[in-house]
Amino acid sequence: MSAMTDAAVGMGRSLVGARRAPAGGDMRAESDAPQPQWRLAVRAFGRDKWAVVSLGVLVLVALAAVFAPLLTPYSPVAGDPVNRLAGIGTDGHLLGLDGQGRDIWTRLLYGGRNSLTVAVVPVLVVFPLALMIGLFAGYRRSRAGETLMRILDVLFAFPLVLLAIALSAVLGAGLGNVMLAIGITLVPYMARVAYTATVQESSKDYIEAARAYGANPVLLMFRELMPNVVVQLLVYATTLCGLMIVVASGLSFLGVGVIPPTPDWGIMTADGKNVLLEGIYHVATIPGLLILVVSLAFNLVGDGIRDALDPRKQTN
């Protein structure tokens, strides 16, 4: 049956396995040999300068958060009340101090651990679950699958942010509860993308030819259909990480996220809003700008991945 499946899917390969002949008139065997798909994708990604820069920003932020104890001598929770609200460039405090005299640079580094964790971990956990739901409901098109998707569609009646706030309020504040609330919120969105991609791929010629040839449905779904669905879901998941940075920070800002005095970018922004009317802007502005930059970086990396996995742009 495996041989029959291979013969069937050979009539039309997926985007992941697609190959194009090199442009130009070079007829040498070495030039004509197809290059590995991952190499073409890496080259295409490298041509997108904004995506490369954004990836570098994310790597630097992640490394800074991991190695925070090596980059600052201060505690993220202990403050110096005497020098509270000291401005940018204060001796020994590059980015100044907040309202409780805590070093802002230090809290940004340690806060990055929580902010990135809350944004990325739920997406990674939900990814395989949403993929399986989308494949099951979109490929078999059974009554059970359609019923499952209709149930998930009910959650679309609630805006993502509002649903996350409601779940966080019910579950209570805290890092674990926030990740759980965000994870539940993400399931219908990611499952819908996986479902739509599965339906679109299932109607293509290479799948229809394999079905007509009698290919094993399970092997066909996991070996040929799933890689194409994963590509589309991966792009969406990357951009979702950027959105979740904003959502998680917003939850902390509203007091239903990470519990103070634990450092978090949303909490830092909330602390800074109390002194804005006093003309002290750096306490709220610095973490707010960092949230913006990291969120934008995730989105640009997602766009770069999408283009890199497009065979039409790999040969341009």
What sign has the CA pseudo-torsion 40, 42, 47, 51?
Answer: positive
Give the pLDDT confidence score for residue 315 in this predicted structure: 66
**Which whole-number Å values give the CA distances from 285 to 79, 112, 246, 290, in the listed order?**
19, 16, 14, 9
Give the pLDDT confidence score for residue 108 in this predicted structure: 95
Checking if the pLDDT of 68 tops 90, the result is yes
Read off the pTM.
0.82
pLDDT tens digits for range 6-39: 444 444 444 344 434 444 444 444 445 567 777 8
Residue bearing the bigger pLDDT, 6 or 206: 206
Burial of 54 (0-12, 13-18, 19+ CB in 10 A): buried
Which DSSP string do the residues of 222-241 spell out, in sequence order? IIIIHHHHHHHHHHHHHHHH
Give the pLDDT confidence score for residue 150 in this predicted structure: 87
Residue bearing the bigger pLDDT, 12 or 164: 164
Q: 3-state SS string over 239-251?
A: HHHHHHHHHHHHH
pLDDT tens digits for range 131-157: 999 998 888 777 887 888 888 888 888
Give the pLDDT confidence score for residue 299 in this predicted structure: 94
Name the pLDDT band for 112 (thresholds 50, 70, 90): very high
Give the pLDDT confidence score for residue 39 in this predicted structure: 81
Computed on alpha carbons and rounded to an integer, the radius of gyration of the chain in Å comes to: 24
Residue 213, token pair as written in the block? 């040839």
Name the pLDDT band for 5 (thresholds 50, 70, 90): very low
pLDDT tens digits for range 222-235: 887 888 899 899 99
From CA 298, how far away is CA 100, in angstroms rounded? 32
Going along the chain from its start, the domains and CATH numbers come out as 112-267+285-313 (1.10.3720.10)
Buried b (16+ CB within 10 A) or exposed e, 60-85: ebeebbeebeeebebebeebeeeebb
